């Protein structure tokens, strides 16, 4: 349930969006970041965007899997353990290598050679809105630090605004005016 009435939400929303954009125009990046926090605080707990770098990284990381040559099953990188073994006579003749790295399929227990393994990269594919964003960047020392901070801060603020706008859309759709809420409560009492 939203914490404030819709007109209140709209007013707060406009206010903090305005502050945020003004700060960006004036290159006050810490101000813009602070405004994002205020903007996010406008919502009830359910629709507030979570600010959590670890969770964000986990949700957006690329998943790499190796395909077994024998059974075609995929083994994730976490399940994969590799070992280096001495090559057999034919491999040695063909490749000139004394040793090779192999891994064992978690499904059929066959040994696969790492060099010839097919890897599948599962790119994180959006749901574009995750409800989670990373923590804001902080500035490192020096002029180079300032430049990279400026870039990272602008990106972070835009990304955050985007996510929070999406939450705001949900909050608006879910909003039940107070009059209707009372009606629902009355009906519940009568039943």
Q: Where do contacts with Zn ion occur on this chain (CB under 5 A)?
A: 68, 70-71, 105, 107-108, 110
For Zn ion, give the closer residue by CB, 117 or 165: 117
Q: Find the shortest distance in angstroms from Cβ 105 to Zn ion.
A: 3
Tell me how far, at minimum, the Cβ of 88 lies from Zn ion, in Å. 20
Q: Kindly state the smallest distance separating residue 112's Cβ from Zn ion, in Å.
A: 8
Closer residue to Zn ion (CB): 33 or 68: 68
Residue 146 in tokens: 């300032």
Three-class secondary structure assignment of 160-189? HHHHHHHHHHHHHHHCCCHHHHHHHHHHHH
C-beta closer to Zn ion: residue 5 or 101:
101
CB atoms within 10 A of CB 74: 19
Burial of 57 (0-12, 13-18, 19+ CB in 10 A): exposed
Q: How far is the CB of 104 from Zn ion (least distance, A)?
A: 9
Is the Cβ of residue 60 or residue 82 nearer to Zn ion in the bound state? 82
Q: Is 40 exposed, middle or buried (0-12, 13-18, 19+ CB in 10 A)?
A: buried
């Amino acid at each position: 349930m939203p914490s404030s009435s819709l007109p209140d939400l709209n007013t707060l929303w406009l206010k903090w969006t305005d502050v945020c954009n003004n700060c960006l125009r004036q290159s006050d990046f810490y101000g813009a970041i602070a405004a994002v926090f205020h903007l996010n605080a406008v919502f009830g707990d359910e629709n507030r965007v979570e600010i959590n770098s670890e969770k964000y990284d986990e949700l957006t990381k690329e998943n790499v899997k190796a395909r077994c040559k024998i059974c075609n099953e995929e083994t994730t990188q976490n399940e994969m353990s590799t070992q280096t073994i001495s090559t057999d006579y034919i491999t040695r003749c063909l490749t000139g290598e004394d040793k090779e790295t192999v891994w064992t399929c978690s499904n059929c227990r066959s040994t696969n050679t790492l060099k010839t393994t097919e890897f599948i990269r599962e790119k994180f594919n959006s749901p574009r809105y995750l409800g989670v964003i990373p923590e804001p960047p902080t500035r490192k020392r020096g002029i180079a630090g300032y430049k990279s901070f400026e870039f990272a801060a602008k990106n972070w603020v835009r990304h955050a605004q985007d996510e929070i706008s999406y939450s705001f859309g949900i909050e608006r759709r879910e909003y039940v005016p107070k009059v209707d809420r009372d009606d629902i409560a009355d009906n519940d009492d009568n039943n």
